[in-house]
Amino acid sequence: MGIKLENYKERLVDKTIALYLKTFKAIQIVGPKWCGKTWTSMNHGNSIVRLTDIEKRKLAILNPKVILKEDIPEVIDEWQLVPELWDAIRNECDLRTTKGNYILTGSTALLDKEAKSKIKHTGTGRIIKIKMFPMTTLELGKSLDYISLMDMYEEKEINKLVDPFDIYEITSLIINGGWPENLGLKDAETDGLLAREYIKSVVENDINENYNDNEFLFDSQKMLMILKSLARNESSYAAEATILRDCFSFSNDKEQTLNKRTLSRYLDILERLYIINNQEAYSTNYRSSTRVGKKAKIRFVDPSLAAALLGLTSEKLINDLNTFGLLFESLVVRDLNVYMEYYRGHVYAFRDNLSNDEVDAIVEFSDGEYGAIEIKLGDNQIAEAIKSLTKFNEKVEKKPKFLCVIIGIGSGLTKDPKSGVYIVPYNTLGMHFDKLN
């Protein structure tokens, strides 16, 4: 099975796609553009219809059923360009007994009322959604893959000395991100180039592409101001008021300032384009206060986008350890999102509004058990992180399955004998890729 692809690099999501194609009649793969959705879909499909081809698109608009006759699994690339296809595929699935008929891909959720009105049914039970992210450090071939989240869930003992990441390896991972097109590029002149072009495409093309609303048109300069503010506040709990103040400082006298309603529209389009993937707040019973924070942590889907917006280089990151630490946190959370998607779980953040106690990442598994993770750049921050996790563990009513500190630069993979906290150098975190079924 599969369209023959040369040099295809396997992804964790491949295993989920293969399982779902055996189970369901159609799947939809969503995620940011350039993360590899089409290439991965082709790896599982036996035919493909590209709706970016204007002739195919005209044919699909004229009669959606005409293009649903190729070998299955049939990949429908950028299906949202012809929204009527959704109901046609749903109906076709009802008529078939076979599994794995269609793979729908798209980098944009349906944006405007006219497009949405062309879909009459949700597709529940027929078309199952799978979310894709940019590649993890493991998938990029940069991880030793010594320990997984599941190992910690199962409380496995581990004690290894490892060669730590070089600091420039970490800055490169942040600046270049997990974009498949960067694989194999080693020229320093290409560092961050793809991410910069990504942002350029968003502000110049994507924000208004396929969005038909006579009452509202996105402004590229306003979008750029908002993106810069989001980058400045990456890994934070910035309020709308903070973003509005930032945008005011970026603007000139000729530009109109934003209001909350307008800002909401811009943030909504960024979510629909899968550019931002904010980290939702974790709710649990925490004894020290009556109210746990509900605000999401601001996140780009890949830290390279924030780095591009801030004009960062390796040297600039190294000379600004605060920003370096925040973007490293986002790098790790990107990977955690991919791993927890595989486990059918979720990644949250935790903050107590009264005590200001925080946990960088809460990974919740499908059975409701969870792990609490602190993310630090250097091993000199381990003691502080253990103290924070221990305090959280003492105050929370439902105890975490495990506690963990992920460090950027460290040589000891171990489980602290006193606190029971896992100390995990980032270059050892993986999924035991070669052993997954």
Please give the DSSP secondary-structure letter assigned to residue 10.
P
Report the Cα 411 to chain-centroid distance in Å: 28
| pLDDT tens-place string over residues 9-55 | 899 999 999 999 999 999 999 999 999 999 999 999 999 999 999 99
Query: How confident is the model at residue 290, as a pLDDT?
Result: 44
Query: How confident is the model at residue 4, as a pLDDT?
Result: 66
| Tokens coding 106 | 């798209």
Query: How confident is the model at residue 292, as a pLDDT?
Result: 56
| pLDDT tens-place string over residues 132-182 | 999 999 999 999 999 999 999 999 999 999 999 999 999 999 999 999 998
- Pairing relationship of beta strands 127-131 and 26-30 according to DSSP bridges: parallel
Residues ≥6 apart with Cβ < 8 Å to 324? 171, 174, 317, 318, 377
| pLDDT tens-place string over residues 90-130 | 999 999 999 999 999 987 655 454 444 444 444 455 799 99
Q: Which of 292, 296, 273, 271 is nearest to 283 (CA)?
A: 292
The whole-angstrom separation of Cα 403 and Cα 398 is 13
Average pLDDT rounded to a whole number, residues 61-67: 89
| pLDDT tens-place string over residues 259-305 | 788 888 889 889 989 999 999 988 776 554 444 557 888 899 999 99
pLDDT at 354 over 80: no
Mean pLDDT for the chain? 88
pLDDT at 391 over 70: yes
Query: How confident is the model at residue 257, as a pLDDT?
Result: 61
